[in-house]
A = this chain, B = another copy of it.
Amino acid sequence: MQAVAFQAPYEVALVDKPEPELQAPDDAIVRITATGVCGSDLHIFHGRVAIEPGFTIGHEYVGEVVAAGDAVTGVSVGDRVLGTFQVACGTCWFCRRSQYHKCDSGRTFGHGKTLGSLQGTQAELALVPHANLTLRKVPDGVAEDVALFAGDVMGTAYHATQFVRPGDSVAVLGLGPVGLSAVQTAFIAGAANVIAIDSVEARLDVARQFGATPVHLTEQNPRDEVRALTGGRGVDVAVEAVGDPRALESAIRLAAKTGVVSVVGVYAERCEVHMGLVWIKSLEMQTGQANVIGHLDSVLALLEAGRLDPSPLVTHHMALADAPEAYALYDKREALKIVLTP
């Protein structure tokens, strides 16, 4: 089969690989019909996330079950399915508490041996362990471009805004696919107002289209805008969807006293944080990767009902074979979401 494999920084290639085979009773094999290119793929592309040359990348996918082990009960061969970017064992201490994102033996598709040596989904076929927890049938009437978001981007947005309560004000800093999806999930969670902050006009336009108040990071003063919309108080929840200490400080400044700063942007190192401000405001910080498996049923219900609709985020459809061009394009930030079709 054909698969997109990392070769070296700034170089991916379509390669031939043997087809995957079932290994455990709760494995499934999925024939991929659509697979997305994600910001974390770009970290691999840039060489910032180490991965073995030749490893298949990609972790967003929709497809059809073509084989399933004896213990797979949730889906059947022939089912049109979507899956999560990460798999979890279902029985460790963390899984027993539904904290699937921190499973003691969790594995992430397409991230090499660092994250469990699970070959990626930018391929014709993918082996999916623990299929009962990870796969779901695509509900009737849900388009592939919509279903593709359930197992990563929209689940992450749902996670980012899970502390929003009806009537809250919310700021979203960084309007990539996760930030823009978080505008939608913030409204779903009851936000009265969502202030969406970025410096790219096209992204601000999408945020406006999703109902947010767009604020240009440098041409406007986010603090003034937030004050005007919140009676001077600041926002109840500030979502940091960038992964940059400046965005974090901005989130801390925009939050109201006793507010929540929700950090879904990725951090990998030490950095300076204004703990004095965090402390004096009695802020709560929620951090880390999303519990996408834990949120999957809820996200899927909202996608099926049409209350969440990420389809405007899909800017490009390309063939799997065009993956090298897709990565180059995405690297230039000219796309929001590229969907590859094997």
From B167, B258, B274, B279, A301 is in contact (CB under 8 Å) with: B167
A288 to B: closest C-beta gap in Å: 3
A263 and B248 contact, Cβ closer than 8 Å, known pairs A94-B258, A96-B294? no
* Set of chain B residues within 8 Å of A273, measured between Cβ atoms: 270-273, 275
Query: Which residues from chain B contact A275 at a C-beta distance below 8 Å?
Result: 245, 248, 263, 267, 269-271, 273, 287
A166 touching B192, Cβ below 8 Å: no
Cross-chain contact A133 with B287 (CB below 8 angstroms): no
Bound Cα distance from A293 to B74, whole angstroms: 22
A166 touches B302 (CB 8 A): yes
Type the 1/0 row for A78-97, where 1 means its CB is closer than 8 Å to any CB of B: 00000000000011011011
**Which residues from B are CB-within-8-Å of A24?**
71
User: Using Cβ atoms and an 8 Å threshold, which residues of chain B touch A263?
Assistant: 275, 278-279
Most buried by B among A168, A272, A300: A272
Smallest Cβ-Cβ distance to A105: which chain B residue:
B73
Assess whether B282 is in contact with A287, with CB atoms less than 8 Å apart. yes
A20, CB-defined interface residue at 8 Å: no
Which residues of chain B are near A233, meaning CB under 8 Å? Answer: 93
Contact of A165 with B by CB under 8 A = yes
Counting CB contacts under 8 A, is A284 at the interface? yes
Contact of A305 among B192, B245, B258, B285 (CB under 8 A): B192
A189 interfacial contact with B, CB 8 Å? yes
Docked pose: A288 CA to B295 CA in angstroms? 25
A167/B281 contact (C-beta < 8 A), A190-B189, A270-B276 known: no
* Chain B residues closer than 8 Å to A280, beta-carbon distance: 268, 288-289
Q: How far is the CB of A155 from chain B (nearest CB, A)?
A: 11
Question: What's the Cα separation between A257 and B162 when bound, in Å?
Answer: 18
Give residues of chain A (61-76) contacting chain B, Cβ–Cβ below 8 Å.
Answer: 71, 73-74
- Contact flags (1/0) for A302-316 with B, using CB distance below 8 Å? 101101000000000
Q: Which of A73, A268, A293, A307 has the most CB of B within 10 A?
A: A307
**What B residues does A26 contact at CB under 8 A?**
71
A149 CB, min distance to chain B CBs, angstroms: 14
- Cα distance A270–B246 when bound, in Å? 13
Instruction: Flag whether A25 is at the interface (Cβ < 8 A).
Output: yes
- A188 within 8 A of partner (CB): yes
A-B contact pairs, 18 of them (CB 8 A): A73-B91, A93-B297, A94-B258, A99-B258, A102-B282, A158-B167, A166-B298, A167-B302, A168-B298, A188-B190, A268-B280, A271-B272, A271-B275, A272-B273, A275-B287, A278-B287, A283-B288, A284-B286
Additional pairs, 11, CB under 8 Å, beyond known A99-B282, A272-B273, A279-B288: A97-B258, A166-B302, A187-B307, A190-B307, A245-B275, A267-B275, A270-B272, A270-B273, A270-B274, A279-B289, A283-B288
